[in-house]
Each structure stands twice: as C-alpha cells, then as structure tokens.
Structure 1
Amino acid sequence: MTFYTYDYLQGSQSSWQYARIIILSVLAVIFIGFLVHYLRNRMDSKYKDLTIIVGTLLLLILAIQYDDFSAIQSASAQTGQITQTVKQIAKRLHVGTKSVSINSTTQNANLMAKTPSGYYRVDYNADGSQFVLEKVELDGSSHIKVQEAN
C-alpha cells in the first residue's frame, strides 16, 4: 500500500501544467521570431517553411492542451480536495500536515491515513462533505511505502 505525503500532493498538483505552459510559451516566441524574419525577407523561403513547421507544431500542442484541459482541471480539483482532507486530519489529530500521509491522490471511498499515532480509515458521509476517522490495525503482511516529494 502506498501512502502520499502532503508535500508530494502539493508538488504533483501543478508541475506538469507549468511545463506545458513553458513549452507553449517557447514555441510561441520561436514562431513569432520566424514570422518576423519571414516578413522581413520574403524572398527567403527557409523562414517561411520554418514558420509553417513551428506554427503547425504550436497548433498541435494547443489542441492537445485544450483536449487535456478538463482532465487537468478535474485532477487539480481532486488533488485540492485531498490536500484539504489531509489538513483536516492533521488538525483533528493535533499533528503537523507533514506527518500525515494518505493512500490516494483522489478522494475516494477507501481512504486510509497514516499518522504518527497509527492508521485511520476516513469514512465520508453520503454527500462527501464530512468524514469520520476510525482507527484501524493493519496486518503484518501489509507492505507500506510512503511516496514523498522529490
């Protein structure tokens, strides 16, 4: 069973999104540069071809980004919900958020929390707005791995 720390959940929330934004920005700057060179030197077809290639690549990446946009929003919302759950667990147990780990990156029905005082099952009510912590004992054959932030 893998548990994820609060720092891991915070870090995984936006790292790939920032990488995509950086890639898109770099491609947009390169496209504008080639376009300006082409407009200055209309007789040189090299810049025209490079502008078309980079523009096509930019449109392709924008289409992929748009396609993944709803998935990214959903994942960010779920990660935000789970980090709020970790904060609430830490507050209820009077421990720091860094000492609480959770076994999922999304809010689901089978959530477990690992804390310094033991393992807890997180039992949500029907609408998912509140939860109850129930202390559990894991059997000795359970392999526990804690995934921390890099």
Structure 2
Amino acid sequence: MPPNNTSSDTMLLGLIENIRNEISSLNEDLHGLEINLKSIELLDQKMYCLQEKIVNVVSKMEDLEQKLDELMINSTSTDFFKKDIDEMNKNIEILKSKCENLEKISAELTLSEKNRSSREEKIQQFIIAVVLAIFGAFISWYFK
C-alpha cells in the first residue's frame, strides 16, 4: 500500500505536473519537427523545379552551341564572327559551371536540412526515454 504521506503526494503531484509540462514541450517540439519536414518537402519541390530549369538552360545552351558551330561553318567571313563566337562559347561554359554549382549546392542544402531534422528527432526520443525512466524509477520507489 502506498504511504498516506502528504509530502509524498505533493511530490508525486509535482512530478506529474513536470511530466505534463515536458509532454507539452515535446508536443511543441514535435510540431516544430513537422514544420521542418514540410520545409524539407518544399525544398525538395523547389530543388526539382530548379533542376528542371537548369536542364532547360543547359539544353538551350547546347542548341546555341550547335547553331554557333553551324554559323561558323557556313559563314564566309569566319574571322569576323570568330571572336564573338569564342566569347559566347566561353560564356556558355561559365553558365554550365554555375548551373553545376547550383545543383551541388541545392543537393547539399537538402541533405543538411534532412540531417538536422534527424538529429532533432533523436534528441526528442532521448528526452522522452529519460523522462519515462525517471517517472518509472519514481513510481517504483513510491510503491515500495
């Protein structure tokens, strides 16, 4: 039988209130994790759109390169166009490089966000385990 001690009852009520507060805090943290997951989904959607745009830009640049090559072949005065064509080719290479960098950065950002959410979830699980262990120990002690 549990002891009829008001200090033990007060301690138990205090512990229960602390657990309720912790659960409320964990619910808020869980809501934050849900928001993070939605952010990751939005980031994935934006990255997909960005990748589509990059593919379109690269495709257009390749078409432009092909047309420039045809122009160089068909042109009677290739020396006149050669300087402009070389400059355009250089700019196309710069754009391709920037597109590749954008793809790499967007992939890194997505991975970073997923890793951060995973760490937060593990921390929440650890906190819940600690609270439950403390509560179990107290209940075990209380009913001895």
Task: Pick the TM interval, shorter chain.
Answer: 0.3 to 0.5
Which is helix-richer, 1 or 2? 2
Bigger Rg over Cα: 2
Which is strand-richer, 1 or 2? 1
Q: TM-score, length-normalised on structure 2?
A: 0.46
